[in-house]
Amino acid sequence: MQIGELARRAGTTTRALRYYEARGLLPSRRTANGYRAYDEEHLRLLQQIRLLQDFGFELEETRPFVECLRAGHPHGDSCPASIEVYRSKLAELDTMIGQLTGVRDQIAGQLAQAEAAREEVAASATDAPEPRCELVTPLQEDRA
């Protein structure tokens, strides 16, 4: 199949395929007239790359999986290098989750303080009207 059909079947663009080829992830054969030629194995490599990228893997992190498939293994993650990338990505995600949990806790604390302060003000207010916040443009100030 030619590059356009492969791109369509893989759900990507021809530009992306050329980029993957330039990075050494997607080899291609050339026909006598110079066109790139691909087969089902290329589609399989692309599906592996796209799946991993959907999971948040950087393009270079897909290389061990692609190389594993190209070496003839039935799955891209059946090689030691691929398993190591999984471990690394999992550790990275755990770190990010920890950081996000810390940020969430800080925001929850700020929210609790803001709500408590608002309730305190409301409890101490008598019949005084709530202060109004209005946007006054310079033109409106001149008229006043």
**Does residue 49 fall inside a structural domain?**
yes
**Does residue 128 fall inside a structural domain?**
no
Say what the pLDDT of residue 39 is.
Answer: 94
Examine the pLDDT at 124 and tell me if it is beyond 90: no
Question: Which pLDDT tens digit goes with each residue over 90-101?
Answer: 999 999 999 999
How far from chain centre, in Å, is Cα 133?
40
CATH number at residue 96: 1.10.1660.10
**Does residue 126 fall inside a structural domain?**
no
Say what the pLDDT of residue 72 is.
Answer: 94
**Does residue 86 fall inside a structural domain?**
yes
**Does residue 124 fall inside a structural domain?**
no
**Does residue 59 fall inside a structural domain?**
yes
Examine the pLDDT at 125 and tell me if it is beyond 90: no
Mean pLDDT over 65-73 rounds to 96
**Does residue 53 fall inside a structural domain?**
yes
Mean pLDDT over 66-76 rounds to 95
Q: How many domains does the chain fold into?
A: 1
| Domain assignment of residue 92, given as a range | 3-116
Cα dihedral 67→71→77→81 (10° resolution): -60
Examine the pLDDT at 144 and tell me if it is beyond 90: no
**Does residue 134 fall inside a structural domain?**
no
- How confident is residue 136, by pLDDT bands cut at 50, 70 and 90? low
Percent of the chain whose predicted confidence (pLDDT) is above 70: 87
